[in-house]
Amino acid sequence: MKIADLMKPHILELEAYPPGKPVEELERELGISGSIKLASNESPLGPSRRALEAAVQATEGLNRYPDGSSYYLREALASQLGVAPEALIFGTGSSELLEILAKCVLGPGDEAVFPWPSFAMYPIVTRGMGAKPVEVALDSDFRFDVASVLSAVTDRTRVVFLANPNNPTGTSIGQAEFDVLVDGLPERVILVHDEAYLDYVRRDDFPDTLAAIRRRPTVLSLRTFSKVYGLAGLRVGYAIGDPELVGYLERARHPFNVNSMAQAAALGALRDADHLARVRELTHRGLEKLERAFDELGLAWARSDANYVLVEVGDDAAGLYQRLLRRGVITRALGAFGLSSHLRVTVGLPEENDRFIEALRAELGR
């Protein structure tokens, strides 16, 4: 017997998601200490105190199953966003919501269209359902080409995934291009507007997804507490959509998918607007610093609306990635995304950004 023969054929084609290297693993491998991780687009400031206190308080009730409807989080977020509570669904990170959506709408013979390179989960959830991923290349400035996305849509297309701002490039599209996409797609195609990095956006004309949802019930916004709220370790994200569409997704989810500490922490985080503003400010200053340093080093970079930046470092980006590792700086090499001359660097604390810039300068000999 071969275990592989027990698997569905499309599962054999899957490749596991490549995570950023954990600091502990690097230090064990190289026998070093004091390394920094600028690899996974996490918030360097951590969660708000209010989120932490709420999470700790929730530990008292860990003998109980979580609230299966995330009632208090749902009510608070609905009122903050000005949407009906039924327009929201929560997940174990927004990644789980991508999976739930794929489970609901994709199967063999179906296609999911998305720009590429983009978030690695899109091909994983698509292939996982036996559907076909259709990758549309970004343009030469690493931006979505809305016309190419539209022309990739066929009768078999069930969903378009659009990470805006895009990961790993940080590039984004504004309202006008978004409207062309929304209006150009057949209504039967679900448009997932993945706004994981929404709170970092610097451009003024970022699309209003809630208005698009009101206009077209097959637009779904995906958001997360993993990034600006600093709760990646607790796994909580949500989608906003038409209540009927969201209702079908609700049927397909695990009843206790969001744990009690995650619900409590997310609610605490929502109530701390000052912390959010601090993270945003720190990130923007950090981005500006990295951009200036890349300019000084003569490196090309992509204008980012997220908390990371894509920088072109030359043919041997994988080698440079390794050499930076030996200096205790973890970035992200992007060969698996077809970007073999680039690194993606997450904005860290000011001293971490400085340390990365120094290491880069030393390695490039400039």
Ligand X SMILES: Cc1ncc(COP(=O)(O)O)c(C=O)c1O
Distances (CA, A) of 74 to 22, 52, 65, 95, 317: 32, 19, 17, 18, 43
User: Quick check: 19 and 37 in contact, CB under 8 A?
Assistant: no
Report how far residue 264's alpha carbon sits from residue 49's, in angstroms, rounded to the nearest whole number. 12
Residue with tokens 């470092």: 313
Q: Are strands 190-194 and 157-163 parallel, antiparallel or unpaired?
A: parallel
By the rule CB under 6 A, 196 interacts with ligand X: yes
Q: In angstroms, what is the minimal distance from the CB of 299 to ligand X?
A: 23
- φ and ψ at residue 77, rounded to 5 degrees: -70, -40
- φ and ψ at residue 325, rounded to 5 degrees: -60, -45
By the rule CB under 6 A, 102 interacts with ligand X: no
Nearer to ligand X, 167 or 257 (CB): 167
The interface mask with ligand X, positions 200-219, x = CB under 6 A, is --------------------
Residue with tokens 């607007």: 273
By the rule CB under 6 A, 119 interacts with ligand X: yes
Distances (CA, A) of 271 to 28, 73, 109, 229: 39, 11, 45, 11
Residue from 94, 47, 96 nearest 267 by CA: 47
Residue from 95, 94, 147 nearest 124 by CA: 95
By the rule CB under 6 A, 230 interacts with ligand X: no
Can the peptide bond before residue 19 be classed as cis, meaning omega within 30 degrees of 0?
Answer: no
Provide the 10 A C-beta neighbour count for residue 5: 7
Nearer to ligand X, 195 or 357 (CB): 195
Among 209, 221, 226, 346, binds ligand X (CB under 6 A): 226
Nearer to ligand X, 35 or 169 (CB): 169
Interacting span for ligand X (CB under 6 A) from 49-57, 92-100, 128-136, 175-183: 92-100
Report how far residue 215's alpha carbon sits from residue 97's, in angstroms, rounded to the nearest whole number. 22
Q: What is the CA radius of gyration of the chain?
A: 21
By the rule CB under 6 A, 41 interacts with ligand X: yes
By the rule CB under 6 A, 198 interacts with ligand X: no
Report how far residue 50's alpha carbon sits from residue 24's, in angstroms, rounded to the nearest whole number. 28
Nearer to ligand X, 40 or 364 (CB): 40
- In which element (H, E) is residue 326 found? helix 317-326
| Subset of 267-326 contacting ligand X (CB under 6 A) | none
By the rule CB under 6 A, 128 interacts with ligand X: no
By the rule CB under 6 A, 172 interacts with ligand X: no
Q: In angstroms, what is the minimal distance from the CB of 161 to ligand X?
A: 9
By the rule CB under 6 A, 164 interacts with ligand X: no
Interacting span for ligand X (CB under 6 A) from 44-52, 88-96, 264-272, 339-347: 88-96
By the rule CB under 6 A, 125 interacts with ligand X: no
By the rule CB under 6 A, 167 interacts with ligand X: yes
Interacting span for ligand X (CB under 6 A) from 16-24, 51-59, 89-97, 310-318: 89-97
Nearest residue to ligand X, by Cβ distance, number only: 93
Q: In angstroms, what is the minimal distance from the CB of 196 to ligand X?
A: 4
Q: In angstroms, what is the minimal distance from the CB of 172 to ligand X?
A: 11
By the rule CB under 6 A, 346 interacts with ligand X: no
Residue ranges that bind ligand X, judged by CB under 6 A: 41, 93-95, 119, 163, 167, 194, 196, 224, 226, 232, 237
